[in-house]
Amino acid sequence: MQNVDQRGHWGSKIGFILAAAGSAVGLGNIWRFPYITGENGGAAFVVVYLACVFLIGFPLLINELAIGRASGKDAVGAFRATRPGTPFVITGFLCIACCFLVLTYYGVIAGWTIGYAVASLAKTHIAFEEFAANPVYSIILLGVFILMTVVIVERGIQSGIEKWSKVLMPLLLVMVLAVIVRSVTLPGAWKGIEYYMKPNFSKIHATVVLKALGQAFFSLSVGWGLMITYGSYMEKRQSIVASAFWVVFMDTLVALLGGFMVFPAVFAFGKAPDSGTGLTFITLPSVFEQMPAGALVGFMFFCLLTIAALTSSISMLEVPVSYLVDEYKKPRRIAAWAVGILAFLVGIPSALSSGACKWLTHIKVFGHEGLMDILDFFVGTAVIVLIAFLCSVYVGWVWKPKAAVEEISQGAPGFTKPLIGGITMAHIWVLFVKFICPVVIAIVFLNIFGVSLF
Ligand code: PHE
């Protein structure tokens, strides 16, 4: 059911939560989280990551939802509507640019995932390097994935994103659990569980903390204007605080479960946990091959990763699409196809940057090699940290917390009720948004550009 004004609303509370959690849960949880954990020492990294998620990610998620629902607008319109005439509207444009650009290479990785699902089912062994360097496979699979994304987004909020998320999210959890059962019952899996659960805090230093923060933003979809957009479709009687909590909870749960799928299997088969970005694509298929019913397990795993990527990519596409629908009154259908086709075309160089085109594969900028890695660092990390910083400064100092607290307490009356000694949840939240989050993010940001304060 599409609204006459092309805008739309979530059909139910649970529909919104599942869609927002679907956005958060993606390649970031199942592919990025395990490999980064593996590169940063295992269990101790997990502890730091959890602190980042709950202390920085959670307050800023509430922040974005409040901006979105108060304005009822897209990422750009939200800044114009809540406090007209400030330069913070640039934040909205940054959000649109980031979602669009990240979608272009996210689609490439998701395309590989589809390829691996098909190959697992056909019991064909594919060597990652060869596969990723094949321009025909990479481009076609990118196209297939973007097409799937567009078809869902063009249907609009209720019949597209919400309906699909309701089916895909629970299915995802069932599949994750099935793979975990297989993984932890492998002989030798215990070493992996120990690596993942027994922290060794001597490995914690500033860079590890910073990496954990970066991963938290990526994984929670915070700092992309996405939660502004999804928040704008929210009803006033729905609790922003409770919804944000559920999103954080589910995203973290799937990330932690992602580790339980990967590490026991990696150790059981004597692979290195710090194999890097290839951990999923290089290690796991050969792990599956050596397992009973491996073809089926592999197929399930890659289907699951595709599903997770899809509920994220539909949200990435939704940010530019809602901008075109709101600000230029374009029909949703046309906006979705136009942005989708453009994302496919812009994504082609990324698809060629894993071996197919030498120049794109080896181009180096500040130590980042290959177009995809460069984009992931500058757009997927640096600008996202900047956006998260701008959003917290905007609400803390420009829009003013009073307005935000009023918005949040609609649907969440407990937010302004005293907890202990007259202190409310709102007081604590304001402290984080005004001071703690911007300061911590500023430290992260400086570190990205090589200024270390520790
Ligand atoms: N959070 C998603 C993931 O973990 C990535 C994403 C970022 C999706 C921003 C939408 C917007 O894969």
- How many whole angstroms separate alpha carbon 13 and alpha carbon 138? 38
Dist. CA 293 → ligand 1 center (Å): 31
For residue 198, give both structure tokens.
């027994």
- How many CB atoms are closer than 10 A to CB 121? 15
The CATH number corresponding to 4-448 among 1.10.3470, 1.10.4160, 3.90.320, 1.10.287 equals: 1.10.4160
Task: Give distance in angstroms: CA of 423 to centre of ligand 1.
Answer: 34
CA distance 200 to 85: 50
pLDDT of amino acid 13 = 75
Q: Going by CA atoms, what residue is nearest to atom 9 of ligand 1?
A: 221
Atom of ligand 1 nearest to the CA of 309: 12
**Ligand 1 probe mutation, 315, 317, 322, 379, most atoms within 8 A of CB:** 315
pLDDT tens by residue, 102-125: 999 999 999 999 999 999 888 887
Q: What's the CA gap between 369 and 363, in Å, rounded? A: 6
CB atoms closer than 10 angstroms to residue 1: 10
Looking at residues 343-367, what average pLDDT do you find? Answer: 92
Helices (H) and strands (E) in the chain, counts: 23, 4
Query: Which CA distances in Å does 94 have to 91, 319, 390?
Result: 5, 11, 10
Q: Where are the alpha helices (DSSP H) in 280-414?
A: 284-289, 294-328, 332-351, 358-362, 371-377, 384-393, 401-409
Give me 67's structure tokens.
């901006």
Torsion of CA 273, 276, 278, 279, to 10 degrees: 20
Q: How far is the CA of 364 from the centre of ligand 1 (A)?
A: 25
At residue 160, what is the residue type?
G
Q: Which residues of 353-376 are buried (b: 16+ CB within 10 A; e: fewer)?
A: bbbbbeebbebeeeeeebbbbbbb
Listed by start position, the domains of the chain span 4-448
Res. 454: pLDDT tops 70: no
Tell me the CA–centroid distance for residue 361 and ligand 1, in Å.
24
Q: What is the distance between the alpha carbons of residues 394 and 215, in angstroms, rounded to a whole number?
A: 23
Looking at every residue in the chain, the average pLDDT score rounds to: 88
Which position has the higher pLDDT, 390 or 442? 390
Nearest atom of ligand 1 to the alpha carbon of 33: 4
Mean pLDDT throughout 131-140?
Answer: 92
Query: Hey, whose CA ends up nearest to atom 6 of ligand 1?
Result: 221
Ligand 1 atom closest to the CA of 226, numbered from 1: 11
Contacts of 262 (CB under 8 A, 6+ apart): 34, 38, 183, 279, 280, 283, 284
Mean pLDDT of 9-18: 76
> 161 near 314, Cβ under 8 Å?
yes
Q: Look at residue 2 and tell me whether its pLDDT is greater than 60.
A: no
- DSSP codes joined into one string, 149-213: HHHHHHT-IIIIIIHHHHHHHHHHHHHHHHHHHHHHTSTTHHHHHHHHHS--GGG--HHHHHHHH
Residues with CB under 6 A from ligand 1: 23-24, 26-29, 218-219, 221, 224, 226, 312, 315-316
Mean local confidence (pLDDT), 434-450: 83
CA dihedral 126, 258, 310, 314 (to 10 degrees): -140
d(CA 328, CA 155): 18
Other residues' Cβ atoms within 10 Å of the Cβ of residue 208: 18
Averaged pLDDT, 178-185:
84
- Left if phi > 0, otherwise alpha if psi is -120 to 50, otherwise beta: which for 150? alpha
- Does pLDDT of 280 surpass 90? no
